Amino acid sequence: MRRMIVANLSRAALGLLLAGLACVRAAAAEPSIHVVDAWARATPPGVENGAVYCKILNNGGADRLVAARSSAAHGAEIHASVSQNGVVEMRRIEALPIGAGASLELAPGGTHVMLVGLGAPLAPGAKVELTLVFAAAGEIAVEVPVVDARAPPAVHEHEHHAQ
């Protein structure tokens, strides 16, 4: 009888241990970076570059946006608008830090992803594929809707996150 009780308690303890490990693994698999409200302004014919904007939400530890790429352009670069002596210039930056638990907005007049050497104009209603690369979270694929440059961007309910 005592052996049966010990055996049952051992099975129960093993079951609890396995369930706990499964919960820890599921929590670890939860993505830490989310990309929301991504959009790009439409470009007129002949314009070679475009810009993508979004919000990046970091629910994990500190990370850095280190690269971007898109099949819509020859290159994709992280840019920041910098004001010096009353002149605003766009400058390429190597990485964009995102603090633990912080959010970052890429917006017109500020930080954005510049699509360099567009293969075709960005037309309203089209979608652009963009991959953001983070030092810790890895790659996040984002489907970016193109909106009319004369209209304010609509709020999108589409969310992307690290795998």
Q: What is the full DSSP assignment across 11-26?
A: HHHHHHHHHHHHHHHH
CA torsion sign for 59, 24, 133, 46 is negative
Nearest to 55 by CA among 35, 27, 74, 73: 35
pLDDT tens digits in sequence order for the chain, 163 residues long:
566 554 555 665 555 555 555 554 444 556 799 999 999 999 999 999 999 999 999 999 999 999 999 999 999 999 998 888 888 888 999 999 999 999 999 999 999 999 999 999 999 999 999 999 999 999 999 999 999 967 655 555 455 555 4
pTM of the model: 0.75
In degrees rounded to 5, what are phi and psi of residue 62? -55, 145
Distance, CA of 78 to CA of 137 (rounded, Å)? 17
Per-residue pLDDT at 63: 97
Q: 3-state class of 145 per DSSP?
A: strand
| Assigned token pair, 43 | 């470009």
Per-residue pLDDT at 114: 97
Per-residue pLDDT at 26: 44
Per-residue pLDDT at 1: 58
Distance, CA of 133 to CA of 67 (rounded, Å)? 5
* CA-to-CA separations, 49 to 10, 40, 62, 75, 101, in angstroms, rounded: 65, 11, 30, 10, 32
Per-residue pLDDT at 61: 96
Nearest to 38 by CA among 138, 129, 136, 122: 129
Residues 6+ apart with CB under 8 A from 76: 52, 67, 68, 69, 70, 113, 114, 115, 116, 130
